Amino acid sequence: MTDAFPFAARIVGAGFVGVSDDGASDADTRRAAFEPTDLPGGLGRRLGRQPALVFAAILQALGGATPDPDTALVLGTAHGAMSETIDVIAGAAKHGAAAASPLLFANSLHNAMSGAVGRALGLRGPAVVVSNGDASFQSALVTAMAMLRAGHARRAIVGASDSVHPVYTEGLRRVGLLPAPGRPAYAGGEGGGALVIEAAAAGDVRTAVTHAAFGEAVPRSGRLAAAQSMTSGERRDAARHSAVWERVRAAFDGPHPEPAHAAARFGTFGSLCAVAVAAEAIRRFDCDAVGGATAFVQASLRAPPTVVVVGGHGR
Amino acid sequence: MQREPSERGRDVTVGATRVAIVSTGIVTTAGRGADRTFAALRTGGDAPRAPRSIQSELGGLYPVFEVPDAAFGAPPVRLPGGRGRRGTRLALIAGLDAFLASGVRFASERIGVVTGATVGGMMHTEDWVEERVRGDAARVAARPAIRHLPLWDAPRELARRIGATGPVTAVTTACTSGTHAIAVAADLIVTGAADVVVAGGVDALARVTYHGFASLGLLERVRCRPFDTGRAGLNLGEGAAFVVLASERAFPCDAGPPVAWLDGWASTSDAHHATAPRPDGSGLADAMREAIRRASALPASVDWVHAHGTATQNNDDVEAEAIAAVFGDLRPAVSSTKHVFGHTLGAAGAVSAVVAVEAMRRGFVPGNGPVVRAAGARDLAIVPPGGLERTVRRVVVNSMGFGGTNCALVLSGGAP
C-alpha cells in the first residue's frame, strides 16, 4: 500500500449519527436512535432513512453555518437507499410493473442522497457519490481531497451513510454474519457521518488529514469470503485493527481514543469510523480538529484492506 | 505543464500533469470493440428490440438495446455468479480490452480502477425481494445469499484481474456515473495519487430501471429520436466502456503515443429537482464552461459536442439551451448517439467518451438520428444521420442525470 496520500485537508467540522451505546441488544435491528423527522425545519419530511442519516450528520458538521454554493459534495454509501430500492421492487412485484412508483424509483438511486442534500443546501458545485463497501466513506474522503487539490472547490462536505432493512438483515443472517449461539455479533448497524474539509498544504499538520491511502483491490471475491468462518475473519480483522491503530498512534502524539470504544459504539456498516472517532476526539480533547482516527475494517465480507488515517495534533 | 489558477478552487497546479488517454475498450449493443461500434454508428445500427435478458410484462411495449450474446465470447470472460454479475462481465470485457491494448507497465500500486455504475448486481436483489413478496418458499430457501447492489464488484474484480492495487472505487451519480468516474480518475492522476487509472462506466439492463423509467413516462415505443421535435422518450441500453488514463509525466511507457488527451473535466449540481434538470440549462452550461476553461481552451476550438441527448423532452430542451449558452454563434457540430446504443445509464458518459476518442482517431463525426425541428427551437448544428467525414481535434462530452448532476469532459486529439 502506498504509505501516505500525497495531500492534506483541514477538517473544519465533523458530525455523526450512529447506534447508541446501549443499542446492541438486538443486533438484527441496530437502528440509530434517529428518525428523518428529527431533521430541523421539516427537511426530513420527504427523505428516506439513508439520505436523512447523512443529512443529519452534515448539519452537525456545518454547525449552523450556511455552506458556500460552490462547496463540493462527496458522499459514500455501501448500499444506497435500501428501503426505497426494496420497496420499489416489491411494489412492482405485488401490483405489477406498470404500477411501479416513479417517486420511489427516483429516490432509490444511490445519488438521491446528494441530490436531496444539494437541493436543501443550495449547492451548485461538484457532487459525487461513491460506493465501495465498508470503505465507502474512505473513498469519498480521498475523492474529495483529490478534488480540492485539483482545484474543483475550496471546501468540501464529505459524508457517508447506510441504513438497515429487515430484508437485507435476513440476507446477512443466511450467510452467517449475524449473531448466533457461540458466535459474536457482526457489528452491522446504521449511521451517518460527515466532515467539512478545506484545501490545506501538506505541511499544515496541526489540524489536518495528514495521511490517507485507499485502494488495494481485494484479492478474492466476496462470495468466497462469505463462506469463510467468522473465526478466521475475526482474526484477520483483529490483525488489521491492530496494524491500523498502530499507525494512528504513530501519527498522534497525545492521548488517543481506544479502538474498542469506537468499535462498540459505531458498529455501522463501516463507512463511518473515521468521522466518529474524529468527532469523538474533538469532544474529548477539545481540539479544533481531529485527533486521530481510522476506518477499521470490521467485516471480512465486503472490506478491502483499505485504510484512511486521519491524523493531526490535539492542543 | 502549469495550469491557470482556478476560479473555484485554490490551486490546480500540484505539479500538474496532462492526462493522456492511452487506449479504449467498449461493448454495447453493437458488439465488442471500436470497429463494430463505428460500423453501427455509420449505418445507424440495428433497431431496438424487446428485452431478452430480463422478463417484464412491459417487454412488448418498450424496446431496448441489449448486448448480443456473441459479445460475451471470443475470448470469453469467465466469472461465476449468475446473471447478477452481467454488469461485472461487461465491465471486464471493456476494461480488460482497454487495459490489454494500453501496454502500460507500472507498479501495481500506481494503477487504479474507477467504475461508474447505477445498478450493479441489482438482478440478485430483484430476485431476492420478488421471491419474498410472492411467497415462493422453495426458491427463498434455495437461495443462499443476498448481495445487495454491489456496485463495487465491477471495479474490484477488474482491479484484481489487472493486478491494480492503487485507488479502486465505484462512482454512482445516476446517468453521469461514467463521466464522473473518468473525472474522478483524472483528479487522482493530476494530484499524483495514481499514474494510471482504468476508468469508465457500466450498466446491465435491470427490471427496476426498466420499470422505473416506464413509471416516469420516459420510455419510447420505437427507436428514440434525440433532439427531434416529435421525440417521446428514451430507449434503455446496456454496455460498458473504459479508457486507460495515464499521467503524461509518467510517460513514456510501452504504450506508444496516447490516442487522445483528457484536458478538461468539471462537475456541477442543479440544486433544483429530483429528476428534472434546471430549465435554463445553467448547471450543464457551467460544467461545460469550467471543463473548457480547465483545458486552457476556447469554445471556438471545439469541433464536436457529443450530447447526452437522451431524447426525453426535458433533457434535450435543457441541453440545447446549455449548448447555445456556451457556444452561441459558434455552432459546433452536435449529435447524440443514443439512437444507436440506447441510454446505457451508468455507462453512457464513458460510451460517449470512447466514441469521442475514436471519432478523433477516425476523422468521423457520428450522426444524430433524423431531426424535424419546430419553429423557435434552438438552432443547433445537429449532425445529419450519415455523419461527417472531417478532422476532429477537440470534443466536449456532456452528461446529465437524476439528482441534478452534470458532468462535462473535454478531449483533444492524440497529436501533441
Q: Is B2 inside any structural domain?
A: no
What's the pLDDT tens digit per position in A189-247?
677 778 888 876 544 433 333 333 222 222 222 222 222 222 333 334 444 444 444 44
For chains A and B, count residue pairs whose Cβ atoms are closer than 8 Å: 281
Chain B environment of A299 (Cβ under 8 Å): none
What is the distance between the alpha carbons of residues A192 and A272, in angstroms, rounded to a whole number?
A: 7
Q: Which three cell numbers stand for residue B186?
A: 483524472
Least confident of A13-17, A50-54, A122-126, B327-331: A13-17
Q: Regarding beta strands B394-401 and B304-306, do their DSSP bridges make them parallel or antiparallel, or are they unpaired? A: parallel
Q: What is the CA radius of gyration of chain B?
A: 20
Q: Which three cell numbers stand for residue B295?
A: 483545458
The closest alpha carbon to B198, from B75, B306, B84, B113, belongs to: B113
Residue-level pLDDT at A33 = 72
What's the pLDDT tens digit per position in B170-217?
999 999 999 999 999 999 999 888 899 999 999 999 999 999 999 999
Higher pLDDT, B358 or B145: B358
Residue B24 contacts residue B243 (beta carbons within 8 Å): yes
Of A79, A89, A226, the CB nearest to B129: A89
Residue B173 contacts residue B180 (beta carbons within 8 Å): yes
pTM of the full structure: 0.86
Which residue range(s) make up the domain with B265? Answer: 19-413
Q: Is B372 inside any structural domain?
A: yes
**Given an 8 Å threshold on Cβ–Cβ distance, is B146 in contact with A111?**
no
What is the distance between the alpha carbons of residues B65 and B60, in angstroms, rounded to a whole number?
A: 14
Domain range A8-310, CATH class: alpha beta
**Given an 8 Å threshold on Cβ–Cβ distance, is B187 in contact with A149?**
yes
What does the mean pLDDT of chain A come to?
A: 63
pLDDT over 70, % of chain A? 49
Q: Which three cell numbers stand for residue B245?
A: 488514463
Residue A295 contacts residue A137 (beta carbons within 8 Å): yes
Cα distance from A28 to chain B (closest Cα, Å)?
Answer: 16
Tell me if residue B374 falls in helix, strand or coil.
coil
Least confident of A166-170, A214-218, B55-59, B387-391: A214-218
Q: Is B11 inside any structural domain?
A: no
**Given an 8 Å threshold on Cβ–Cβ distance, is A216 in contact with B405?**
no
The closest alpha carbon to B303, from B214, B388, B382, B392, belongs to: B392
Question: What's the number of CA atoms in the CB half-sphere (13 Å) around residue B66?
Answer: 17
Q: Is B8 inside any structural domain?
A: no
Q: Which three cell numbers stand for residue B278?
A: 434546471
Backbone angles phi, psi at B198, to 5 degrees: -85, 110
Chain A environment of B17 (Cβ under 8 Å): none
With a cut of 50, say whether residue A279 has pLDDT above it. Answer: no
What is the distance between the alpha carbons of residues A166 and A170, in angstroms, rounded to a whole number?
A: 6
| Residues of B noted as catalytic | 175, 308, 343
Residue A16 contacts residue A191 (beta carbons within 8 Å): yes
Q: Which three cell numbers stand for residue B117?
A: 455504475
Residue B376 contacts residue B343 (beta carbons within 8 Å): no
**Given an 8 Å threshold on Cβ–Cβ distance, is A118 in contact with B403?**
yes
Higher pLDDT, A134 or B27: B27
The closest alpha carbon to A176, from A77, A263, A265, A300, belongs to: A300
Residue of A nearest to B11 (CA): A151
What is the distance between the alpha carbons of residues B265 and B211, in angstroms, rounded to a whole number?
A: 32
Least confident of A102-111, A148-157, A282-291, B311-320: A282-291
Q: How confident is residue B317, by pLDDT bands cut at 50, 70 and 90?
A: very high
- Tell me what the mean pLDDT of segment A33-62 comes to: 87
Tell me if residue B340 falls in helix, strand or coil.
helix
Higher pLDDT, B349 or A9: B349
Of all helices (H) and strands (E), which one includes residue A309?
Answer: strand A307-310
What does the mean pLDDT of chain B come to?
A: 90
What is the distance between the alpha carbons of residues A99 and A121, in angstroms, rounded to a whole number?
A: 32
Least confident of A189-193, A288-292, B334-338: A288-292
What is the distance between the alpha carbons of residues A249 and A243, in angstroms, rounded to a whole number?
A: 10
With a cut of 80, say whether residue A76 has pLDDT above it. Answer: yes
Chain A environment of B55 (Cβ under 8 Å): none
Higher pLDDT, B76 or A116: A116
Of all helices (H) and strands (E), which one includes residue A212?
Answer: strand A211-213
User: What DSSP character marks residue A109?
Assistant: S
With a cut of 80, say whether residue A185 has pLDDT above it. Answer: no
Q: Which three cell numbers stand for residue A225?
A: 469470503
Residue-level pLDDT at A310 = 38
Biggest distance spanned by C-alpha atoms of chain B: 65
- Tell me what the mean pLDDT of segment A279-305 comes to: 32
Q: What is the CATH number of the domain that holds B72?
A: 3.40.47.10
What is the distance between the alpha carbons of residues B133 and B38, in angstroms, rounded to a whole number?
A: 44
Residue-level pLDDT at A239 = 42
Residue-level pLDDT at A7 = 59
Residue of B nearest to A119 (CA): B271
Chain B environment of A126 (Cβ under 8 Å): 266-269
Residue-level pLDDT at A35 = 86
Q: Which three cell numbers stand for residue B374?
A: 419546430
Q: How confident is residue B242, by pLDDT bands cut at 50, 70 and 90?
A: very high
Q: Is B12 inside any structural domain?
A: no
**Given an 8 Å threshold on Cβ–Cβ distance, is A89 in contact with B180?**
no
Of A5, A130, A167, the CB nearest to B172: A130
Residue-level pLDDT at A130 = 92
Residue-level pLDDT at B78 = 83
Q: What is the DSSP string of A31-77?
A: --S--GGGSGGGTTTT--HHHHHHHHHHHHHHTTPPPPTT-EEEEE-
Of B147, B155, B173, the CB nearest to A222: B147
What is the distance between the alpha carbons of residues A187 and A293, in angstroms, rounded to a whole number?
A: 18
* Number of structural domains chain B divides into: 1
Residue-level pLDDT at B79 = 85
Least confident of A38-42, A175-179, B235-239: A175-179
Residue B22 contacts residue B252 (beta carbons within 8 Å): no
What's the pLDDT tens digit per position in B346-390?
999 999 999 999 999 999 999 999 999 766 678 899 999 999 999
Residue-level pLDDT at A206 = 36
Q: Which residue has the cell 430476485?
A: B127
ipTM of the shown complex: 0.94
What's the pLDDT tens digit per position in B252-304?
556 678 999 999 999 999 999 999 999 999 999 999 999 999 999 999 999 99
What's the pLDDT tens digit per position in B87-117?
999 999 999 999 999 987 777 878 999 999 9
Least confident of A96-100, A263-267, B355-359: A263-267
Q: Which three cell numbers stand for residue B18?
A: 496532462
Q: What is the DSSP string of A266-297?
A: --SSSS-HHHHHHHHHHHHH--SS---EE---
Chain B environment of A127 (Cβ under 8 Å): 173, 267-269, 403, 405
Of all helices (H) and strands (E), which one includes residue B95?
Answer: helix B86-102
What's the pLDDT tens digit per position in A104-119?
999 999 999 999 999 9
Of A89, A110, A174, the CB nearest to B126: A89
